[in-house]
């Protein structure tokens, strides 16, 4: 039983360390990505720092930077809580192992004392020969052998436990040092967060003072957005009409064939007309099965505007039909899933590509150049074009006529 307890404690120590390392690795990976995204916001703000007039784009980048810094602080807090838990666990394990070590030493001392009293070969022989019969003598010989083996095992358990205690104490020291480093990083990030929040407040104040101009700019953006939405809906309606006519022709042909063969006409298909063909149905199903795992349309970028309404200043609101991603000028814009290019639209000087995936459509707005043509089949992550000098790409996802929030479809960054 004591042997089992020792092995169990050593196993728990190893397993807990592995689990802790895995979780820390995930947090470190996320923090590295956040650092990369924060650095991108700094580069963008530095490029626009010469502009005297604050723009909505600058405010959006500041908001993105604040969100990223807050998430980084939360990630650091999670790491510190994880380390605190590991410190407590290691301390408890050290105490448990020390207690176990004391018991092992006590048992081992008792065995040594017994062995010293019976250490002579004569004493062992007398112990064997004093048996009542041959069977008992054999059992006493086996006992002496097992006793020697057990002593050696106990000595090994003591050595292993001492080594584990030493390692856990060293781990405790490393944990405390890591926590100190995280505290320093956290304080630095809190300080820069305060600076960013002050800049945001000034930007909001500046934009509020330009409320008339801001509303004019937003009204133009809204008109362009409405024109694009109208073009998208018309394109989807056309695709639905084409699919409906094709389905009707196929149904008439199937009914005529069944009548000629004296069979019953096949039942009408149900569901979205855009999924009337096996290929389209499979593509839609594959798109849905990748919900939450679809790649971003840019390899490097940050979200500056999310889906839905955003309030700017004193009650001025902006409605976004997708995500606006800030990337680098000239960056490749990629298809988030395989499909067919259905439209290339130009609204207000902004080039937009529409890709069809069964009953789903993805929209890529504000491209500087286009690498594909209408009717072309594209694969996941295939380059559709490049970002313009503004480097603000909007991604929209539609299910037939229904807009979708990209948050539920794109993989976490």
47-105 pLDDT, tens per residue? 766 665 667 788 888 888 899 999 888 888 888 887 787 777 767 766 776 666 666 56
129 pLDDT above the threshold of 70:
no
Closest residue by Cα to residue 337 from 276, 296, 277, 281 = 296
Residue given tokens 């006409």 in the structure block: 265
- The pLDDT assigned to 104 comes to 59
SS (H, E, C) 172-198: HHHHHHHHHHHHHHHHHHHHHHHHHHH
Q: What's CA 118's distance to the chain center, in Å?
A: 65
Q: How far apart are CA 326 and CA 387, in angstroms?
A: 10
Predicted confidence band of residue 271 (pLDDT cuts 50, 70, 90): low
> CB atoms < 10 A from the CB of 266, how many?
12
121 pLDDT above the threshold of 50:
no
The answer for residues whose C-beta is within 8 angstroms of residue 273's C-beta and 6 or more apart is 240, 243, 244, 247
- The pLDDT assigned to 313 comes to 61
182-231 pLDDT, tens per residue? 888 888 888 888 888 888 887 777 766 666 776 777 777 788 888 888 88
Q: Which residues pair with 357 in a beta bridge?
A: 360
155-196 pLDDT, tens per residue? 666 666 677 777 777 777 777 888 888 888 888 888 888 888
* Strand 360-370 to 350-357 pairing: antiparallel
Helix (H, G, I), strand (E, B) or coil at 347: strand
Taking CA atoms, 62 is separated from 58, 193, 311, in Å, by 6, 10, 14
Predicted confidence band of residue 15 (pLDDT cuts 50, 70, 90): very low
Residue given tokens 């000087």 in the structure block: 349
> CB atoms < 10 A from the CB of 233, how many?
13
Q: How far apart are CA 335 and CA 338, in angstroms?
A: 7
Taking CA atoms, 156 is separated from 10, 200, 201, 216, 396, in Å, by 13, 64, 66, 81, 64
Cα-trace Rg, the chain: 35
Closest residue by Cα to residue 320 from 331, 311, 329 = 311
What's the angle, vertex CA 256, arms to CA 254 and CA 281, rounded to 5? 15
> CB atoms < 10 A from the CB of 99, how many?
11
Taking CA atoms, 381 is separated from 22, 208, 332, 336, in Å, by 29, 40, 10, 6
Q: How many helices (H) and strands (E) does the chain have?
A: 6, 12
Q: Which domains occur in the chain, in start order?
A: 2-209 (1.10.287), 215-408 (2.70.70.10)
Read off the tokens for 71. 């998430």
The answer for residues whose C-beta is within 8 angstroms of residue 104's C-beta and 6 or more apart is 2, 6, 154, 157, 158, 161
Q: Check residues 118 and 276 and name the one with the higher pLDDT.
A: 276
3 pLDDT above the threshold of 50:
no
Decide if 90 contacts 14 (C-beta within 8 A).
no
């Amino acid at each position: 039983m004591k042997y089992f307890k020792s092995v169990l404690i050593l196993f728990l120590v190893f397993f807990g360390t592995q689990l802790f390392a895995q979780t820390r690795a995930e947090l470190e990976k996320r923090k590295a990505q956040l650092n990369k995204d924060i650095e991108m916001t700094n580069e963008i703000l530095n490029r626009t720092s010469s502009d005297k007039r604050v723009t909505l784009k600058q405010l959006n980048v500041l908001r993105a930077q604040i969100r990223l810094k807050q998430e980084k602080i939360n990630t650091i807090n999670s790491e510190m809580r994880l380390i605190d838990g590991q410190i407590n666990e290691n301390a408890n394990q050290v105490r448990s192992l020390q207690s176990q070590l004391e018991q092992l030493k006590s048992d081992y001392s008792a065995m040594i004392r017994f062995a010293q009293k019976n250490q002579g070969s004569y004493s062992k022989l007398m112990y064997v020969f004093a048996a009542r019969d041959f069977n008992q003598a054999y059992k006493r010989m086996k006992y002496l052998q097992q006793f020697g083996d057990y002593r050696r095992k106990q000595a090994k358990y003591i050595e292993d436990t001492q080594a584990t205690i030493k390692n856990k104490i060293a781990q405790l020291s490393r944990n405390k040092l890591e926590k100190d480093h995280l505290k320093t990083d956290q304080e630095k990030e809190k300080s820069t967060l305060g600076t960013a929040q002050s800049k945001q407040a000034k930007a909001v104040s500046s934009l509020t003072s330009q409320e008339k101009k801001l509303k004019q700019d937003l009204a133009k953006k809204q008109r362009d957005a409405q024109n694009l939405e109208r073009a998208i809906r018309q394109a989807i309606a056309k695709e639905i009409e084409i699919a409906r006519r094709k389905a009707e022709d196929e149904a008439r042909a199937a009914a005529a064939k069944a009548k000629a063969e004296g069979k019953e006409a096949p039942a009408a298909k149900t569901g979205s007309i855009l999924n009337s063909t096996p290929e389209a149905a499979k593509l839609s199903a594959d798109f849905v099965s990748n919900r939450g795992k679809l790649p971003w349309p840019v390899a490097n970028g940050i979200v500056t505007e999310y889906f839905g309404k955003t309030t700017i200043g004193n009650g001025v609101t902006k409605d976004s039909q997708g995500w606006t991603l800030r990337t680098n000028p000239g960056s490749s814009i990629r298809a988030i899933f395989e499909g067919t290019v259905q439209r290339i639209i130009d609204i207000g000087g902004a080039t937009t590509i529409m890709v069809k995936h069964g009953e789903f459509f993805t929209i890529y707005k504000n491209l500087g150049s286009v690498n594909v043509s209408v009717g072309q089949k594209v694969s996941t992550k295939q380059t559709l074009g490049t970002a313009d000098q503004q480097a603000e790409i909007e991604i929209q996802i539609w299910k037939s006529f229904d807009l979708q929030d990209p948050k539920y479809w794109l993989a976490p960054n």
